[in-house]
Amino acid sequence: MVCTLEVFDVDVILNGEVILKDLNLRFESGLYQIIGPNGSGKTTLLRTILGLIKPVKGRILLNGEDITGKPEKVGYRVGYMPQLSEDVGIPLTAFEIVLDSLLLHRKRFPRFAKSSDIKKVEETLKLVHLPREEWNKPFNELSGGERQRVLLARALVYDPEVLLLDEPLSAIDPLGKVEFVELIGSLAKDKLVILTSHDPILFLRYTNEIVVLNRTFYRVGKPEDVLTVNVLREVYGDSAVKLEEHVHISDAH
């Protein structure tokens, strides 16, 4: 089934600052990247899609249904993986975090764990390749890469139509990034995946389109159309340089 998410003429103002202006985007199944420097509005866009931020103008539609500023309508239909913070302070095990997410997003009461729920959590933790010996460890004792796998499992376990992933490769070592990219790429075969990234090249072979965003400025298109010196310099300035035939973003992140 094709899943569509549409952003129509969206303006977002936070603390008196215009963060997003006249934003029009259409996502239709597959994988999409949102790139831009720190503070460019990438996370704000994801939170607006989730309904956690209500735009001052415009609408967000999921499969034609208006979900603008309505997190209760987003619910189990969208899975969200936030940026990993060093200071998370979650006093739960990996297994408990994923199970709680499943129960929280259950469509109907009662919200207590059944044997089928335990099986679903186990299947999801296996899917994200978290070693079984880490399942019952406190989240704070896991490595950065293991925490990312738990956060992805938490977003996946209730089988949402859409995945929003905010910097999913942060805190993962280079070898782990390759495996994580392949995992996310495989998920995009069956779901709409929208992710923010500071290194668009890693996801390139799975990417439908890239949104290059810097607050009120944006460009959207196929990777070959937007990963150009001219477009990227409008966003990154002199941090975008051309090395032979390849464009590189010298981002401080």
Encode pLDDT of 213-242 as tens digits.
998 899 999 999 998 888 888 887 766 555
Domain count, the chain: 1
CATH at 25: 3.40.50.300
pLDDT of residue 244: 46
Q: Give residues with Cβ within 8 angstroms of 76, minimum separation 6.
A: 105, 106, 107, 158, 160
Q: Is residue 215 part of a domain?
A: yes
Position 108 confidence tier, pLDDT thresholds 50, 70, 90: low
Report pLDDT digits (tens) over 127-177.
Answer: 999 999 999 999 989 998 999 999 999 999 999 999 999 999 988 888 889
Is 21 within the bounds of a domain? Answer: yes
Q: How many CA atoms lie within 13 A of 145 on its CB side?
A: 14
Rounded CA-CA distance 224/209 in Å is 9
75 within some domain: yes
- 157 touches 102 (CB < 8 A): yes
HEC per residue, 115-135: HHHHHHHHHHHHHCCCCHHHC
> Which residues contact residue 129 at a Cβ distance below 8 angstroms, ignoring those fewer than 6 apart?
149, 179, 183
d(C-alpha 55, C-alpha 21), whole Å: 10
Q: Whole-number mean pLDDT of the chain?
A: 89
Half-sphere exposure of 170 (CA within 13 A, CB side): 16
216: its two tokens: 């009120």
**Which residues are CB-neighbours of 98 under 8 A, at least 6 positions away?**
121, 124, 125, 150, 153, 154, 157
Rounded to an integer, what distance in angstroms lies between the CA atom of residue 86 and that of residue 112? 31
Q: Could you tell me which residue, 118 or 85, shows the higher pLDDT?
A: 118
pLDDT of 243 > 50? The answer is: no
Mean per-residue pLDDT, 108-123: 83
The answer to whether residue 77 sits within a structural domain is: yes
Residue 107 has pLDDT above 70, yes or no: no
Which pLDDT band holds residue 251 (cuts at 50, 70, 90)? Answer: low
Instruction: Tell me whether residue 113 is in a domain.
Output: no
Residue 231 domain boundaries:
4-86+161-249
Report if residue 182 sits inside a domain. Answer: yes
Residue 147 lies in a domain: no
Residue 52 has pLDDT above 60, yes or no: yes
Q: Confirm whether pTM is higher than 0.75.
A: yes
In a domain, 110, yes or no: no
Instruction: Name, in order, each residue with C-beta under 8 angstroms of 72's C-beta and a sequence gap of 6 or more.
Output: 51
Q: Which of 232, 176, 175, 173 is nearest to 200 (CA)?
A: 232
Percent of the chain whose pLDDT exceeds 70: 90
Q: Which residue has the higher pLDDT, 239 or 45?
A: 45
